Structure formats: structure tokens, C-alpha cells
Amino acid sequence: MEQRGIPNSNGAENMRHIILHYHILKNAGSTFVSTLRRNFGDNFATFDSPRYDQLLRPEALVEFVKERPNIVAISSHHFFPPVPEMEGIQFHEVLILRNPLDRLRSMYDFFRRMQATENPLTVEAKRLTLPAFLELLIQIRPNLVTNAQVNAIVNRGGRFPDQGDADRALRFLRSVAAVGVVEAFDVFALSAEHSLRAVFPGCDFSYVPENISPRRKGDLQSRLRQLANECGQDLYQKIVSLNQYDTNLVEAAAAESLRRSREIAFSSFHVRELQTRVIRQKLLSRITNNQSRLQRLWKRATRIISKPVSSHTSIR
């Protein structure tokens, strides 16, 4: 009997299949990682550098995969294309993109929420207003605010993209096993399931949203209007112009994801069925979290109850 999500063992030349998710910061990566972990358990692994600003080389991925023959799904913040060629191994690349302006706002909120780390931006975001933070990025970390997604995909973050880079990024997203955008995550999840189930039977990408900014407005246009109001027209237009390649790539990714879903002839029934599975996952997650909370409270209460009471009391 096949286990959900584990690749078929019969297949040409017993090829080893591995999902490789490029986890670009604030692109619903935590949400997708939770689905990979649920599907594959101990056969899923993260592949990250100990340093926040250090990318991993292809040879490091080769070593990582060879040392872990059980791994069938990987997610990485610090590894970007090109994927190394390995005999007997086929990588199934997964890419999720996001509107670059909405992504910058989410980065700011994320850095403000998290504890201070060696990444200085976790300190600066707490100290600065949103406009001041974006101006600082433009001055000292322009690679993070200038077509960062195109830059990561085709240059491994190495230089500012040009039109040739933008064209290469467009060709790349059309070649990956699963592609989508945060704003249409359900379409991505359905098409990714269909694409990968041929190799990973029964994989289920219903999800529980993770790492969502508090008080986040529901629709993209409302969030962009709020961003424009907070930044002012001059700064807003500046970051728009700095991200034209990213904007075009995200639009192309959304169109490619939709094209794939139409080729598979998805209907409203499939969307409703996924949404039912999402509701089920949310309920299960809530139950699990409540159970964990009760267990922590019970352990705490047990320690207090079992603490010996001193028999020596002083009377004055």
C-alpha cells in the first residue's frame, strides 16, 4: 500500500524524485512548508544556511541530498537556481511569488514582530516608521527593494536585474513543476497537487495560513492603497519603479498558474473541495494547538502541586 506523498518506486530507472521549494521571504513559504511537513513527515527537510545572509552553493545541495537518502521534499530560504544535475535524481521545483510592494510591507511587519537577531533589519524595523524603513533599504540594502524576486531567481541575489534577466526569469517560471502567486494560493495549490501527484501519489496541499500579519487587510488593492497613503506619493512611485520587473514576473506567474489550472479543467467544484479540506485542516490545527496548550498548563499545574511544602514555619 502506497503512503501518501511518497514517490512511486516503480518508474523509469528507479529515479529518485525530490520536491525543491524556493522559500522567498514573505511569499507564503511558511504556509507551504507546513503542508510539505504534514505530507512527508520525516522525509521532509529544510535546507538553510546558519547565517541569514549566506546563500548555499549547488555542491552543498548535492551533499545534503546524498547524506539523506530518505528525503523527498526540501524547502530552502538560501538556495536558488540553478539546481545541480545529479544522476538518478530529478528535482521538481516549486516557486511562489508575490506582488513586490505588498511583499515589502509584509517584510516590514514581519521584522517588527520578530525578536531581534543578527539581521540588523530586525532592529531597524522596530526603530523606524515604514517610510523611513523603506528609504533605509533603498540606501543600504537596495538589492532587497529592487526587483528582489527576479534577482533571486536568475542571479542568486548577485546583481540588479536587467531586461535580459527578466526574460530569463519568465522562462524559468514556465519550466518549474509548480508555480503560483500568494494572491491566488488556492489556484496554485490545486495545480501543484495535480502536477506532483503523478510522482507523489495522494499529496494534499490543503493548508493552514501561517505567519500572517495581524490586522492585514483582506484584498491586495486595499493593502496597496494603504501602503501608498503611508508612504506618500513620491516614495510609493519610487518603489513602484524599482520593482517593474518583479511586477511583470508576478503577473506572468499568476497567468501561468491560471493557464495550468484551465488545462486541467478545474471547476468551481474543485475549488470548493479544496476549501473544504482547508477548513478541515484549520479545525485540526486548532484542536492540536488547544491540546498542546492544555498539556503545558497541566504540566505547570502538576509541578506546582507536587512542589514540597516546607514544614519549617517561623512564629513571631
pLDDT, tens digit (0-9, with 9 covering 90-100), for 215-240? 777 799 999 999 999 999 999 999 99
pLDDT in tens, 253-305: 999 999 999 888 777 778 889 889 989 988 988 887 787 677 777 777 677 77
Cα(302)–Cα(144) distance, integer angstroms: 49
For the stretch 55-72, pLDDT in tens is: 999 999 999 999 999 999
Percent above pLDDT 70 for the chain: 92
pLDDT at residue 278, rounded to an integer: 87
Please report which confidence band the pLDDT of residue 3 belongs to, taking 50, 70 and 90 as the band edges: low
Q: What is the CA radius of gyration of the chain?
A: 23
Greatest CA separation found in the chain? 87
* Residue 228 lies inside a defined structural domain of this protein: yes
CATH number (domain holding residue 184)? 3.40.50.300
Provide the residue range defining the domain that includes 26: 14-283
Q: Which residues fall within 8 angstroms of residue 110, CB to CB, at 6 or more apart?
A: 25, 26, 211, 213
Instruction: For residue 314, tell me if it sits in a domain.
Output: no
Q: What is the pLDDT of residues 64-108, one digit of tens each?
A: 999 999 999 999 999 999 999 999 999 999 999 999 999 999 999
Read off the pLDDT of each residue in 166-182 and give the average, rounded to a whole number: 97
Number of domains in the chain: 1
Report if residue 30 sits inside a domain.
yes
Contact 181/100 with Cβ under 8 angstroms?
Answer: no
The CA angle 98-57-37, to the nearest 5 degrees, is: 55
219 belongs to a structural domain: yes
Residue 53 has pLDDT above 90, yes or no: no
pTM of the model: 0.86
Which grid cell is 3? 503512503
For residues 181 and 254, is the Cβ–Cβ distance under 8 A? yes
Residues 71/65, Cβ–Cβ less than 8 Å? yes
What is the per-residue pLDDT for 42?
Answer: 98
Answer whether residue 199 is part of any domain.
Answer: yes
Residue-wise pLDDT for 116-165, tens only, equals 888 999 999 999 999 999 999 999 999 999 999 999 999 988 789 999 99
pLDDT score recorded for residue 308? 66
